[in-house]
Amino acid sequence: MANLKSSKKDIRRSEKRRIRNKSRMSTLKTIKKKIINLLTQIKIEEAKKIYNQYVSLVDKAAKVGLIHKRNAARKKSRLALVINKKEKELLNQTK
């Protein structure tokens, strides 16, 4: 256990941040899973709407330092690729 007053305060602060960061990361993962589930159910329009919310949250997470900006760009790009691929598959099946 810390002895210095400032060390004790640092421990309290880092615990608060850990809880806040865990919640935000959990939200990101949950929304991503929701998008993937919608794509498996072939509900592409709904997935695109939720994707816009996901992009906003990822950008905010990068802005506050929760994730790195390149990590955010990679997450957005890969999910967009999955959505576009599903959409093309659906278009090819309807032809």
Res 64: pLDDT: 94
pLDDT tens string for the chain (95 positions)?
788 999 999 999 999 999 999 999 999 999 999 999 999 999 999 999 999 999 999 999 999 999 999 999 999 999 999 999 999 998 888 77
CB 48 within 8 A of CB 80: no
Q: Which helix (H) or strand (E) holds 22?
A: helix 5-40
Torsion sign (Cα): 61, 67, 71, 74? negative
Both tokens assigned to 74 = 């990679």
| Residues ≥6 apart with Cβ < 8 Å to 54 | 28, 31, 32, 35, 76, 79
Domain coordinates in residue numbering, the chain: 16-94
CATH code for residues 16-94: 1.20.58.110
Res 8: pLDDT: 93
